[in-house]
Structure 1
């Protein structure tokens, strides 16, 4: 590699640009000017940043910030847009502030507009626990199987939504299954006998004259109903079907009988409006109605 003298100026015959004087194994390094397009782009970007600093919110000032000459506030704009949205849909949302569920359900036009919105409410607030299809999961009941812990009536569902289950709300619904094994209410052998009976109930092969059936009748039927039929509206699930909240294996049932259960659902009062709660209650009550909850039928 060689280097030209600082006093020599060499012009590349092809491009017409000066060279730097460096020769890299026969390759001359050109001293090309900075592209004008890039200079213009940088200049425009700088000019825009100065204008944006002056016109738009830009600089943090501790807990505040500079508002800019335009005084734009995205938080205020979001609230205003939400208010406009509320006003635009008030004609079909306001009627749901009333708990007259029978009258609401007989208005097909109103249902057709409201149920897609209720489906969105369910997806945003309920699906995380109960599943997108409302089929439940470990620890969370299915809402689409026709078996209800309290009632399928929209008014009862609305009450559950408002106050929650075992929640901090003063009017919450309470539901708790005792720990028959841990608290010594039943012996290990009795727990095993009841577990076998409950497992047989779900398959339709339960022996009503078995030892487990006698223990069940004395300790469990007050909440779960005769032969686990449920339907008492006190938060105790049906045990005579194949839907399980905490699992339907023998080990799962033994764990439930031994340690008890106390599920929790949050109270939605204050987080959802009364109209949204009532709308959602109607939607949930229709989930097992042939999959028609979302189309107003």
Structure 2
């Protein structure tokens, strides 16, 4: 009985395996020497690693390796180094005044990074990730701040909160002139026309007679908080009505809603929820956002 001899490829001289796919025959070619080389190299590396580094479990312990490297110690040392580095810049931010920190590019780079994380974790849910606020929540990138925009003012607003449970919280409330029947509906519409005209001078939809009448009503009912020039009062948290920045919207309808039903915003006190350092970083972060502009 004759045995069929393997076919030899005429081009390469290698025998074929007998496997064929769509006319393509598989060659029984030898494994490249480079493969053996890298296999041997990998094996030698593995043996060397087992000897030098912690590798094999031994019940409750493990082989320590000739180098004695312990990743737990490496991580601990790394954390200690990071803590030491952090302590350097945290001490500067804690002890230096706002102006000195703002003039230090390295510290401000840290403020932007750390403050961005703090703001995202604690403030963005109300004021938005870009700090530009929304209906009922002020835009923090403008120069319009209810209790003042100086560093100390912003810091204390963050610390105390607004209409919150902190005993020293900022307190502010706009009366509901319509709901509580402090003014008749017709007079409220006149006041609304006047207030709207402050940030929209010459608006065609306004009746000049109503605006003039509203001005007199404003003087009689609103100047105590907002001032005779309607530019607000930071000590009372009364907003500037002339700058075009509106927490609850500046349309005629929005202003009407505010005058009719009143407003009382709330902001948590962060005195017991964030450290003094974190509140200072947040203050610097917001001041930097305001400097960058909306």
Which residue pairs with 1:258 in the alignment? 260
Matched residue, 2:226: 224
Gaps of 5+ in 1: 1-53, 56-80, 293-297
Tell me which residue corresponds to 2:93.
96
Contact 2:119 2:282 in 1 (8 A): yes
Residue 267 of structure 1: aligned partner: 269
Name the CA distance, whole Å, in 1 between partners of 2:82 and 2:114.
13
Residues 10-29 of structure 1 mapped to structure 2, 5 A cutoff:
none
Q: CA deviation at 1:233?
A: 4.0
Q: Within 2, Cα distance between the matches of 1:83 and 1:190? A: 67
Distance 1:248 1:286, change over 3 A: same
1:150 alignment counterpart: 147
Q: Aligned residues, how many?
A: 218
Structure 1 residues 242 and 118, CA gap change in structure 2 (3 angstroms): same
Q: What is the CA–CA distance in structure 2 between the aligned matches of 1:99 and 1:274, rounded to whole Å? A: 13
Contact 1:154 1:282 in 2 (8 A): yes
Matches within 5 A, 1:193-212: 193-205=190-202, 210-212=212-214
In 2: Cα distance, 1:162 partner to 1:127 partner: 17
Closer, same or farther in 2 for the Cα pair 1:249/1:114, shift >3 Å? closer
Distance in 2 separating the partners of 1:213 and 1:247: 20
Report the TM-score when normalising by structure 1: 0.65
Structure 1 match to 2:292: 290
In structure 2, the CA distance between the partners of 1:291 and 1:84, relative to structure 1 (3 Å rule), is farther
- Higher Rg of the two aligned structures: 2
CA distance in 1 between partners of 2:79 and 2:255 (Å): 48
When the two chains are superposed, the root-mean-square deviation of aligned CA atoms in Å is: 3.0
Q: TM-score, normalised by structure 2?
A: 0.66
Label 1:267 to 1:83 Cα distance change in 2 as closer, same or farther (>3 A). Answer: farther
Q: Which runs of 5+ in 2 are unaligned?
A: 1-58, 61-77
* CA–CA distance in structure 2, aligned partners of residues 157 and 89 of structure 1: 24
2:162 paired with 1:165: yes
SS of the counterpart of 1:118? helix
Contact 1:225 1:232 in 2 (8 A): no
Paired residue for 2:172? Answer: 175
Is the contact between residue 144 and residue 288 of structure 1 (CA under 8 Å) also seen in structure 2? Answer: yes
- Tell me how far 1:191 sits from its aligned partner: 0.8
Q: CA deviation at 1:108?
A: 2.6
